[in-house]
Structure 1
Amino acid sequence: MKHKREGRKSLIIAPGEKLPKEVLQQLKEANNRYTKNKDFPSYLKDIELIFNITPVKVTTDSKLYLAGFIGGEGSLNVSAKKQKNTSFGLVIDPEFSVTQHLNGAGMLYLALDVFQTGRIGYKSGSNATLFFRIDNRKSLQEKVMPFFRQYAFPYGSDYLVQRAETFQKLLNLFDSKAHLELGSFLNEVLPLWYSMRKQEGQVNQSFANLNEAQEYVKAFVAERQIKK
Protein backbone atom coordinates (compact mmCIF):
# COMPACT_ATOMS: atom_id res chain seq x y z
CA MET A 1 0.00 0.00 0.00
CA LYS A 2 1.39 3.41 -0.95
CA HIS A 3 0.67 6.63 0.92
CA LYS A 4 1.20 10.12 -0.46
CA ARG A 5 3.03 12.60 1.76
CA GLU A 6 3.91 16.23 1.25
CA GLY A 7 6.94 16.93 3.41
CA ARG A 8 6.06 16.57 7.08
CA LYS A 9 2.88 18.63 6.93
CA SER A 10 0.04 17.01 8.90
CA LEU A 11 -3.25 16.25 7.18
CA ILE A 12 -5.54 19.19 7.94
CA ILE A 13 -9.07 19.97 6.73
CA ALA A 14 -11.30 23.03 7.16
CA PRO A 15 -14.16 23.12 9.71
CA GLY A 16 -17.22 21.29 8.38
CA GLU A 17 -15.30 19.34 5.77
CA LYS A 18 -15.63 15.59 5.67
CA LEU A 19 -12.91 13.03 6.04
CA PRO A 20 -11.43 12.54 2.55
CA LYS A 21 -12.69 9.29 1.01
CA GLU A 22 -9.19 8.13 0.14
CA VAL A 23 -8.10 8.59 3.76
CA LEU A 24 -11.12 6.69 5.03
CA GLN A 25 -10.37 3.86 2.61
CA GLN A 26 -6.71 3.75 3.65
CA LEU A 27 -7.74 3.63 7.31
CA LYS A 28 -10.14 0.74 6.64
CA GLU A 29 -7.43 -1.16 4.80
CA ALA A 30 -4.92 -0.58 7.60
CA ASN A 31 -7.36 -1.83 10.23
CA ASN A 32 -8.25 -4.87 8.13
CA ARG A 33 -4.57 -5.75 7.74
CA TYR A 34 -3.96 -5.31 11.46
CA THR A 35 -6.90 -7.59 12.25
CA LYS A 36 -5.40 -10.27 10.04
CA ASN A 37 -1.67 -10.05 10.74
CA LYS A 38 -1.56 -8.58 14.29
CA ASP A 39 1.59 -6.70 13.26
CA PHE A 40 1.46 -3.64 15.51
CA PRO A 41 4.67 -1.91 14.33
CA SER A 42 3.40 -2.04 10.73
CA TYR A 43 -0.01 -0.75 11.83
CA LEU A 44 1.61 2.13 13.71
CA LYS A 45 3.57 3.04 10.60
CA ASP A 46 0.42 2.85 8.48
CA ILE A 47 -1.34 5.34 10.76
CA GLU A 48 1.68 7.65 10.67
CA LEU A 49 1.66 7.68 6.87
CA ILE A 50 -2.10 7.90 6.39
CA PHE A 51 -2.36 11.07 8.48
CA ASN A 52 1.08 12.42 7.59
CA ILE A 53 2.09 12.54 11.26
CA THR A 54 5.45 13.57 12.62
CA PRO A 55 5.91 11.20 15.58
CA VAL A 56 6.61 12.63 19.02
CA LYS A 57 9.24 10.78 21.01
CA VAL A 58 7.66 8.81 23.83
CA THR A 59 9.12 10.22 27.04
CA THR A 60 7.91 10.92 30.55
CA ASP A 61 6.97 14.43 29.40
CA SER A 62 4.97 13.21 26.41
CA LYS A 63 3.20 10.67 28.63
CA LEU A 64 2.28 13.41 31.10
CA TYR A 65 1.06 15.54 28.21
CA LEU A 66 -1.05 12.64 26.96
CA ALA A 67 -2.43 12.07 30.46
CA GLY A 68 -3.57 15.70 30.62
CA PHE A 69 -5.19 15.39 27.22
CA ILE A 70 -6.94 12.17 28.24
CA GLY A 71 -8.33 13.98 31.27
CA GLY A 72 -10.38 16.13 28.90
CA GLU A 73 -10.86 13.99 25.81
CA GLY A 74 -10.50 10.41 27.04
CA SER A 75 -13.17 8.12 28.39
CA LEU A 76 -13.44 4.90 30.37
CA ASN A 77 -16.76 3.33 29.46
CA VAL A 78 -18.63 0.10 30.09
CA SER A 79 -21.39 -1.04 27.75
CA ALA A 80 -24.10 -3.68 28.20
CA LYS A 81 -25.02 -5.62 25.08
CA LYS A 82 -27.73 -8.23 24.73
CA GLN A 83 -26.39 -11.44 23.21
CA LYS A 84 -28.59 -14.51 23.24
CA ASN A 85 -25.74 -16.92 22.55
CA THR A 86 -24.14 -16.17 25.94
CA SER A 87 -24.75 -17.73 29.36
CA PHE A 88 -26.65 -14.76 30.77
CA GLY A 89 -27.89 -13.14 27.57
CA LEU A 90 -25.87 -10.04 28.35
CA VAL A 91 -22.26 -9.04 27.79
CA ILE A 92 -20.50 -6.28 29.70
CA ASP A 93 -17.72 -4.66 27.68
CA PRO A 94 -15.22 -2.23 29.22
CA GLU A 95 -13.23 0.04 26.93
CA PHE A 96 -10.92 3.03 26.93
CA SER A 97 -11.24 5.56 24.13
CA VAL A 98 -10.10 9.00 23.03
CA THR A 99 -12.06 10.96 20.44
CA GLN A 100 -10.60 13.70 18.27
CA HIS A 101 -11.20 15.56 15.01
CA LEU A 102 -9.02 14.56 12.07
CA ASN A 103 -6.91 17.68 12.62
CA GLY A 104 -5.93 16.29 16.02
CA ALA A 105 -5.00 12.84 14.75
CA GLY A 106 -1.49 13.35 16.09
CA MET A 107 -2.77 12.94 19.64
CA LEU A 108 -4.45 9.66 18.77
CA TYR A 109 -1.23 8.49 17.18
CA LEU A 110 0.66 9.40 20.36
CA ALA A 111 -1.80 7.32 22.38
CA LEU A 112 -1.31 4.43 19.97
CA ASP A 113 2.47 4.73 20.34
CA VAL A 114 2.40 5.07 24.14
CA PHE A 115 0.10 2.11 24.77
CA GLN A 116 1.51 -0.02 21.93
CA THR A 117 -1.94 -1.47 21.33
CA GLY A 118 -5.46 -0.44 20.33
CA ARG A 119 -6.55 0.98 17.02
CA ILE A 120 -7.77 4.16 15.37
CA GLY A 121 -11.11 4.31 13.59
CA TYR A 122 -13.64 6.67 12.08
CA LYS A 123 -16.77 7.62 14.00
CA SER A 124 -19.61 6.67 11.68
CA GLY A 125 -22.00 9.51 10.86
CA SER A 126 -19.55 12.28 11.71
CA ASN A 127 -17.78 14.60 9.31
CA ALA A 128 -14.23 13.88 10.39
CA THR A 129 -14.20 12.48 13.91
CA LEU A 130 -11.69 9.77 14.74
CA PHE A 131 -11.31 7.61 17.81
CA PHE A 132 -8.54 5.66 19.49
CA ARG A 133 -9.87 2.60 21.30
CA ILE A 134 -8.62 -0.22 23.50
CA ASP A 135 -11.21 -2.87 24.39
CA ASN A 136 -9.03 -5.88 25.12
CA ARG A 137 -9.39 -6.57 28.85
CA LYS A 138 -5.80 -7.77 29.24
CA SER A 139 -4.49 -4.57 27.65
CA LEU A 140 -6.82 -2.46 29.78
CA GLN A 141 -5.55 -4.17 32.92
CA GLU A 142 -1.85 -4.30 32.05
CA LYS A 143 -1.35 -1.09 30.04
CA VAL A 144 -4.16 1.43 30.49
CA MET A 145 -4.71 1.26 34.25
CA PRO A 146 -1.00 1.42 35.19
CA PHE A 147 -0.73 4.49 32.93
CA PHE A 148 -3.67 6.12 34.68
CA ARG A 149 -2.19 5.45 38.11
CA GLN A 150 1.25 6.76 37.23
CA TYR A 151 0.49 9.69 34.96
CA ALA A 152 -3.17 10.67 35.27
CA PHE A 153 -3.99 10.21 38.96
CA PRO A 154 -1.45 12.71 40.37
CA TYR A 155 -2.95 15.59 38.38
CA GLY A 156 -6.41 14.29 37.47
CA SER A 157 -9.73 15.45 38.83
CA ASP A 158 -11.47 13.60 41.63
CA TYR A 159 -14.08 12.49 39.09
CA LEU A 160 -11.46 10.99 36.79
CA VAL A 161 -9.76 9.14 39.65
CA GLN A 162 -13.03 7.83 41.06
CA ARG A 163 -14.21 6.63 37.65
CA ALA A 164 -10.88 4.94 36.94
CA GLU A 165 -10.95 3.19 40.32
CA THR A 166 -14.43 1.85 39.58
CA PHE A 167 -13.23 0.72 36.18
CA GLN A 168 -10.32 -1.05 37.87
CA LYS A 169 -12.70 -2.89 40.21
CA LEU A 170 -14.66 -4.13 37.21
CA LEU A 171 -11.51 -5.38 35.48
CA ASN A 172 -10.52 -7.19 38.67
CA LEU A 173 -13.91 -8.90 38.73
CA PHE A 174 -13.33 -10.12 35.19
CA ASP A 175 -9.91 -11.42 36.18
CA SER A 176 -11.47 -13.38 39.03
CA LYS A 177 -14.09 -14.81 36.61
CA ALA A 178 -16.94 -13.15 38.51
CA HIS A 179 -18.71 -12.50 35.20
CA LEU A 180 -19.10 -16.25 34.74
CA GLU A 181 -21.04 -16.84 37.98
CA LEU A 182 -24.68 -15.71 38.05
CA GLY A 183 -24.74 -14.27 41.56
CA SER A 184 -21.54 -12.28 41.07
CA PHE A 185 -22.66 -11.10 37.65
CA LEU A 186 -25.95 -9.83 39.04
CA ASN A 187 -24.71 -8.34 42.29
CA GLU A 188 -21.17 -7.20 41.54
CA VAL A 189 -20.56 -6.79 37.80
CA LEU A 190 -23.88 -5.19 36.85
CA PRO A 191 -23.88 -2.63 39.70
CA LEU A 192 -20.41 -1.45 38.63
CA TRP A 193 -21.57 -1.20 35.02
CA TYR A 194 -24.57 0.85 36.10
CA SER A 195 -22.50 3.13 38.33
CA MET A 196 -20.38 4.08 35.31
CA ARG A 197 -23.24 5.06 33.04
CA LYS A 198 -22.93 8.73 32.16
CA GLN A 199 -26.43 9.32 30.79
CA GLU A 200 -29.87 7.82 31.11
CA GLY A 201 -32.88 8.03 28.86
CA GLN A 202 -30.94 7.59 25.63
CA VAL A 203 -32.88 6.13 22.72
CA ASN A 204 -30.36 3.35 22.10
CA GLN A 205 -29.77 2.32 25.72
CA SER A 206 -30.16 -1.39 26.47
CA PHE A 207 -31.78 -0.90 29.88
CA ALA A 208 -33.42 1.96 31.69
CA ASN A 209 -31.87 1.10 35.04
CA LEU A 210 -29.95 -1.52 37.02
CA ASN A 211 -33.03 -3.43 38.13
CA GLU A 212 -34.22 -3.81 34.56
CA ALA A 213 -30.87 -5.29 33.56
CA GLN A 214 -30.85 -7.69 36.50
CA GLU A 215 -34.40 -8.85 35.81
CA TYR A 216 -33.55 -9.38 32.15
CA VAL A 217 -30.68 -11.68 33.09
CA LYS A 218 -32.79 -13.62 35.62
CA ALA A 219 -35.56 -14.12 33.07
CA PHE A 220 -33.07 -15.15 30.39
CA VAL A 221 -31.43 -17.76 32.64
CA ALA A 222 -34.79 -19.10 33.82
CA GLU A 223 -36.06 -19.46 30.25
CA ARG A 224 -32.90 -21.25 29.20
CA GLN A 225 -33.24 -23.71 32.08
CA ILE A 226 -36.83 -24.48 31.06
CA LYS A 227 -35.72 -25.24 27.51
CA LYS A 228 -33.06 -27.72 28.66
Structure 2
Amino acid sequence: MKNYWTISRKFEQNMNRLQKPKKETFKKRLQNYLIKFKTKSPQITEKYKYFLAGFIEGEGSFYVGLKKNSTSKYGLKVDPAFSVTQNKTGVVHLIAFMVLFQTGRIDFKSGSENTYVFKIENRQSLVEKVIPFYKSYVLPLTCSTKKQIFNNWVNVINKLDQGVHKTSEGLAYEILPLVFASRTKGKREKSLQDYQKLVLLGVRQ
Protein backbone atom coordinates (compact mmCIF):
# COMPACT_ATOMS: atom_id res chain seq x y z
CA MET A 1 0.00 0.00 0.00
CA LYS A 2 2.87 2.36 0.82
CA ASN A 3 4.45 1.84 -2.61
CA TYR A 4 1.10 2.49 -4.29
CA TRP A 5 0.69 5.89 -2.60
CA THR A 6 4.30 6.81 -3.33
CA ILE A 7 3.90 6.01 -7.02
CA SER A 8 0.52 7.77 -7.14
CA ARG A 9 1.94 10.91 -5.55
CA LYS A 10 4.89 11.01 -7.94
CA PHE A 11 2.54 10.51 -10.88
CA GLU A 12 0.39 13.44 -9.74
CA GLN A 13 3.45 15.67 -9.29
CA ASN A 14 4.69 14.81 -12.78
CA MET A 15 1.27 15.55 -14.29
CA ASN A 16 1.17 18.93 -12.54
CA ARG A 17 4.56 19.82 -14.01
CA LEU A 18 3.40 18.82 -17.48
CA GLN A 19 0.18 20.83 -17.19
CA LYS A 20 1.90 23.96 -15.85
CA PRO A 21 2.14 26.53 -18.68
CA LYS A 22 5.66 27.34 -19.81
CA LYS A 23 6.97 30.75 -18.83
CA GLU A 24 7.17 33.08 -21.80
CA THR A 25 10.78 33.84 -22.72
CA PHE A 26 11.95 37.39 -23.32
CA LYS A 27 12.86 36.57 -26.92
CA LYS A 28 9.38 35.24 -27.60
CA ARG A 29 7.71 38.18 -25.88
CA LEU A 30 9.76 40.67 -27.92
CA GLN A 31 8.92 38.84 -31.14
CA ASN A 32 5.21 38.99 -30.27
CA TYR A 33 5.43 42.77 -29.80
CA LEU A 34 7.24 43.21 -33.12
CA ILE A 35 4.46 41.27 -34.85
CA LYS A 36 1.70 43.09 -32.96
CA PHE A 37 3.04 46.55 -33.77
CA LYS A 38 4.24 45.60 -37.26
CA THR A 39 7.74 46.94 -36.76
CA LYS A 40 11.37 45.81 -36.69
CA SER A 41 13.73 45.59 -33.75
CA PRO A 42 15.61 48.91 -33.58
CA GLN A 43 19.40 49.12 -33.51
CA ILE A 44 20.61 50.51 -30.19
CA THR A 45 23.50 52.83 -31.05
CA GLU A 46 25.24 55.17 -28.64
CA LYS A 47 23.38 58.10 -30.20
CA TYR A 48 20.05 56.28 -29.77
CA LYS A 49 20.85 55.65 -26.09
CA TYR A 50 20.98 59.39 -25.51
CA PHE A 51 17.72 59.74 -27.43
CA LEU A 52 16.12 57.17 -25.11
CA ALA A 53 17.62 58.98 -22.13
CA GLY A 54 15.60 62.00 -23.23
CA PHE A 55 12.45 59.89 -23.17
CA ILE A 56 13.20 58.84 -19.62
CA GLU A 57 13.75 62.46 -18.61
CA GLY A 58 10.41 63.52 -20.11
CA GLU A 59 8.16 60.47 -19.82
CA GLY A 60 9.93 58.17 -17.38
CA SER A 61 8.80 57.28 -13.89
CA PHE A 62 10.57 55.77 -10.88
CA TYR A 63 7.76 54.56 -8.68
CA VAL A 64 7.28 52.45 -5.58
CA GLY A 65 3.90 50.77 -5.29
CA LEU A 66 2.40 50.02 -1.88
CA LYS A 67 -0.09 47.18 -1.92
CA LYS A 68 -2.01 45.59 0.92
CA ASN A 69 -1.13 41.92 0.89
CA SER A 70 -2.41 39.37 3.39
CA THR A 71 0.53 37.04 2.72
CA SER A 72 3.16 39.70 3.48
CA LYS A 73 4.59 39.74 7.00
CA TYR A 74 3.15 43.14 7.90
CA GLY A 75 0.25 43.17 5.44
CA LEU A 76 2.02 45.47 2.99
CA LYS A 77 4.03 44.76 -0.15
CA VAL A 78 6.58 47.26 -1.45
CA ASP A 79 7.08 47.11 -5.25
CA PRO A 80 9.64 49.39 -6.94
CA ALA A 81 9.12 49.84 -10.68
CA PHE A 82 10.40 51.81 -13.64
CA SER A 83 8.20 52.86 -16.56
CA VAL A 84 8.15 55.01 -19.68
CA THR A 85 4.92 56.23 -21.27
CA GLN A 86 4.45 56.93 -24.96
CA ASN A 87 1.65 57.53 -27.47
CA LYS A 88 0.94 54.55 -29.74
CA THR A 89 2.56 56.37 -32.67
CA GLY A 90 5.90 56.14 -30.87
CA VAL A 91 5.60 52.61 -29.54
CA VAL A 92 8.75 51.63 -31.47
CA HIS A 93 10.74 53.57 -28.86
CA LEU A 94 9.19 51.49 -26.07
CA ILE A 95 10.30 48.40 -27.98
CA ALA A 96 13.77 49.99 -28.09
CA PHE A 97 13.75 50.07 -24.29
CA MET A 98 12.95 46.37 -24.29
CA VAL A 99 15.89 45.71 -26.62
CA LEU A 100 18.17 47.96 -24.56
CA PHE A 101 17.35 46.39 -21.19
CA GLN A 102 16.52 42.89 -22.48
CA THR A 103 13.50 42.72 -20.21
CA GLY A 104 10.16 44.42 -19.47
CA ARG A 105 6.63 44.51 -20.84
CA ILE A 106 4.49 46.90 -22.89
CA ASP A 107 0.82 47.39 -22.00
CA PHE A 108 -1.95 49.92 -22.47
CA LYS A 109 -1.87 52.73 -19.95
CA SER A 110 -4.84 52.42 -17.62
CA GLY A 111 -7.73 54.55 -18.86
CA SER A 112 -6.25 55.22 -22.30
CA GLU A 113 -6.47 53.37 -25.61
CA ASN A 114 -3.87 55.58 -27.31
CA THR A 115 -1.07 55.38 -24.78
CA TYR A 116 1.30 52.53 -23.99
CA VAL A 117 3.57 51.96 -21.01
CA PHE A 118 6.88 50.10 -20.94
CA LYS A 119 7.47 48.74 -17.45
CA ILE A 120 10.12 46.85 -15.47
CA GLU A 121 9.26 45.51 -12.00
CA ASN A 122 11.92 42.86 -11.48
CA ARG A 123 14.22 44.22 -8.79
CA GLN A 124 17.34 42.54 -10.11
CA SER A 125 16.75 44.08 -13.55
CA LEU A 126 16.23 47.49 -11.96
CA VAL A 127 19.56 47.20 -10.12
CA GLU A 128 21.62 45.67 -12.91
CA LYS A 129 20.17 47.43 -15.96
CA VAL A 130 18.02 50.49 -15.29
CA ILE A 131 20.02 52.17 -12.51
CA PRO A 132 23.42 51.98 -14.28
CA PHE A 133 21.90 53.32 -17.52
CA TYR A 134 20.22 56.22 -15.75
CA LYS A 135 23.38 57.11 -13.83
CA SER A 136 25.41 57.18 -17.05
CA TYR A 137 23.04 58.83 -19.52
CA VAL A 138 20.44 60.83 -17.56
CA LEU A 139 21.53 61.69 -14.03
CA PRO A 140 24.40 64.06 -14.97
CA LEU A 141 22.00 66.26 -16.95
CA THR A 142 18.76 66.08 -14.98
CA CYS A 143 17.44 68.68 -12.54
CA SER A 144 18.02 68.55 -8.78
CA THR A 145 14.41 67.58 -8.03
CA LYS A 146 14.51 64.54 -10.30
CA LYS A 147 17.93 63.59 -8.93
CA GLN A 148 16.48 63.52 -5.43
CA ILE A 149 13.47 61.45 -6.51
CA PHE A 150 15.78 58.97 -8.24
CA ASN A 151 18.14 58.75 -5.26
CA ASN A 152 15.25 58.11 -2.86
CA TRP A 153 13.92 55.40 -5.19
CA VAL A 154 17.37 53.76 -5.34
CA ASN A 155 17.62 53.91 -1.55
CA VAL A 156 14.30 52.07 -1.26
CA ILE A 157 15.66 49.29 -3.45
CA ASN A 158 18.92 49.16 -1.49
CA LYS A 159 17.08 48.85 1.81
CA LEU A 160 14.86 46.09 0.42
CA ASP A 161 17.97 44.22 -0.72
CA GLN A 162 19.45 44.68 2.77
CA GLY A 163 16.32 43.19 4.36
CA VAL A 164 15.33 46.36 6.24
CA HIS A 165 11.67 45.63 5.44
CA LYS A 166 11.80 42.42 7.48
CA THR A 167 11.17 44.34 10.70
CA SER A 168 8.11 46.51 11.28
CA GLU A 169 10.26 49.43 12.46
CA GLY A 170 12.53 49.21 9.43
CA LEU A 171 9.59 49.13 7.04
CA ALA A 172 7.66 51.88 8.82
CA TYR A 173 10.43 54.33 9.66
CA GLU A 174 13.18 53.72 7.09
CA ILE A 175 11.52 52.50 3.89
CA LEU A 176 8.09 54.13 3.89
CA PRO A 177 9.42 57.72 4.35
CA LEU A 178 11.72 57.14 1.35
CA VAL A 179 8.78 55.80 -0.67
CA PHE A 180 6.81 58.98 -0.08
CA ALA A 181 9.88 61.16 -0.66
CA SER A 182 10.32 59.50 -4.08
CA ARG A 183 6.79 60.42 -5.13
CA THR A 184 5.76 63.67 -6.75
CA LYS A 185 3.08 65.65 -4.94
CA GLY A 186 -0.46 64.81 -5.93
CA LYS A 187 -3.65 63.15 -4.80
CA ARG A 188 -2.93 60.27 -2.46
CA GLU A 189 -5.45 57.85 -1.01
CA LYS A 190 -3.44 57.31 2.18
CA SER A 191 -0.78 59.29 3.99
CA LEU A 192 2.61 58.12 5.20
CA GLN A 193 1.21 57.95 8.72
CA ASP A 194 -1.67 55.72 7.55
CA TYR A 195 0.77 53.19 6.07
CA GLN A 196 3.02 53.33 9.12
CA LYS A 197 0.05 52.61 11.34
CA LEU A 198 -0.95 49.71 9.08
CA VAL A 199 2.51 48.17 9.44
CA LEU A 200 3.02 48.80 13.16
CA LEU A 201 -0.38 47.53 14.17
CA GLY A 202 -0.20 44.59 11.79
CA VAL A 203 -3.58 45.52 10.32
CA ARG A 204 -4.45 43.36 7.28
CA GLN A 205 -7.58 44.23 5.36
How high is the TM-score relative to the length of structure 1? 0.75
1:97 equivalent in structure 2: 83
1:39 positional shift: 1.4
* Counterpart Cα distance in 1 of 2:156 and 2:118: 21
1:64-110 deviation per Cα after TM superposition (whole angstroms, max 9, x unaligned): 11011110011001111111221111111110001111111011011
Q: How do 1:1-228 and structure 2 match up within 5 A?
A: 36-202=22-188, 205=189, 207=190, 209-220=191-202
Tell me the percent identity. 36
* Counterpart Cα distance in 1 of 2:119 and 2:128: 15
1:124 positional shift: 3.4
* Residues 200 and 219 of structure 1, relative CA distance in 2, 3 Å threshold: farther
Secondary structure at the aligned position of 1:197 is classed as coil
2:10 equivalent in structure 1: none
1:128 positional shift: 1.8
1:131 positional shift: 0.6
* Counterpart Cα distance in 1 of 2:141 and 2:105: 26
* Counterpart Cα distance in 1 of 2:169 and 2:175: 9
For the pair shown, the structure with the greater C-alpha radius of gyration is: 2
Gap runs ≥5 in structure 2: 1-20
* Counterpart Cα distance in 2 of 1:61 and 1:201: 37
1:176-218 deviation per Cα after TM superposition (whole angstroms, max 9, x unaligned): 011112221111111111112223434xx2x1x2112111211
Count of residues in correspondence between the two structures: 184
State the 4+ residue runs in structure 1 displaced beyond 3 angstroms: 199-202
* Counterpart Cα distance in 2 of 1:134 and 1:36: 20
Note if contact 1:68-1:156 (Cα within 8 Å) is conserved in structure 2: no
Note if contact 2:55-2:84 (Cα within 8 Å) is conserved in structure 1: no
1:152-194 deviation per Cα after TM superposition (whole angstroms, max 9, x unaligned): 1122222222211111111110110111122211111111111
1:36 positional shift: 3.9
